[in-house]
């Protein structure tokens, strides 16, 4: 590393913080990483880690901050944000439909889930939304899926009959069905959600109602068809292990 270089204000625009604030501190600059001393505030130059091998080396250099560094991975070249942009331009989902409706974004996965849960495709789609999305409120699900209140109620009843979700009343959730397991009561402007979803969204709750993650809100970090598949693998494994 180049020791003791002061990072000028006009250089900070390309830096992504993953462990503190700059505040004009003296910094050690290796190119991909800028680490301030004292204090250890850490910053990343996304353009400098486009090469997977460079990314691997950077993670090895900051093993104690690897989890925080991974939170910015969706923002890197080839990361989840770029894949979402390519997906949006691909025409994979018909005009007027939503990626958040698994029947539109990943119909093969919906068919597989329906077969394994023993439900119709509407209930399977609802399960994927509950298992994956940060805010699958009744209002959102009806908009994404184009459902009436009656259609949502039927899908919910079919899904509850499988035992894959539980019914409860939880403040500010905006929905009555949830994954089994722990619950994280995030405060406004965020909605509370199942604790199991935090890792998939690369989010960690902080003090004073704040979160640490790639974005200031709990948002998808990859194309939703990818996130639906990842959530299904996770929840399938949990059910098989009896968790």
> Does the structure show a pLDDT above 80 at 61?
no
Asked if 156 contacts 176 with a C-beta cutoff of 8 angstroms, the reply is yes
Query: Which of 73-77, 113-117, 122-126 has the weakest average pLDDT?
Result: 73-77
> Does the structure show a pLDDT above 70 at 80?
yes
Predicted local distance difference test score (pLDDT) of residue 102: 98
Predicted local distance difference test score (pLDDT) of residue 18: 59
Predicted local distance difference test score (pLDDT) of residue 23: 57
Range from 38-47, 104-113, 228-237 that averages highest in pLDDT: 104-113
Peptide bond just before 38 cis, omega within 30 deg? yes
84-120: buried (b, 16+ CB within 10 Å) or exposed (e) per residue?
beebeeeeebeeeebbbbbbbbbeebbeebbeebebe
> What are 130-182's pLDDT values in tens digits?
999 999 999 999 999 999 999 999 999 999 999 999 999 999 999 999 999 99
> Does the structure show a pLDDT above 90 at 50?
no
> What are 187-198's pLDDT values in tens digits?
888 999 999 999
Query: Which of 14-28, 80-94, 121-135, 209-223 has the weakest average pLDDT?
Result: 14-28
Cα pseudo-dihedral 94, 97, 99, 102, rounded to 10: -100
- Sorting pLDDT into bands at 50, 70 and 90, what band is 54? confident
């Amino acid at each position: 590393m180049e020791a003791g270089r002061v990072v000028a204000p006009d250089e900070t625009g390309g830096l992504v913080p993953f462990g503190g604030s700059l505040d004009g501190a003296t910094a050690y600059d290796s190119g991909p990483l800028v680490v301030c001393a004292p204090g250890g505030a850490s910053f990343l130059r996304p353009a400098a880690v486009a090469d997977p091998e460079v990314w691997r080396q950077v993670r090895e250099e900051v093993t104690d901050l690897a989890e925080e560094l991974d939170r910015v991975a969706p923002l890197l070249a080839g990361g989840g944000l770029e894949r979402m942009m390519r997906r949006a331009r691909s025409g994979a989902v018909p005009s007027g439909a939503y990626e958040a409706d698994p029947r539109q974004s990943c119909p093969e996965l919906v068919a597989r889930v329906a077969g394994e849960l023993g439900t119709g495709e509407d209930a399977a789609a609802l399960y994927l939304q509950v298992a994956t999305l940060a805010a699958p409120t009744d209002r959102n699900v009806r908009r994404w899926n184009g459902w009436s209140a009656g259609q949502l109620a039927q899908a919910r009843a079919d899904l509850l009959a499988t035992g894959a979700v539980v019914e409860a009343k939880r403040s500010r959730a905006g929905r009555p069905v949830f994954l089994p397991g722990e619950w994280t009561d995030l405060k406004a402007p965020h909605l509370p959600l199942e604790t199991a979803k935090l890792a998939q969204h690369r989010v960690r709750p902080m003090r004073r109602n704040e979160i640490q993650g790639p974005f200031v809100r709990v948002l998808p970090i990859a194309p939703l068809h990818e996130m639906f598949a990842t959530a299904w693998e996770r929840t399938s494994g949990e059910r098989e292990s009896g968790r």
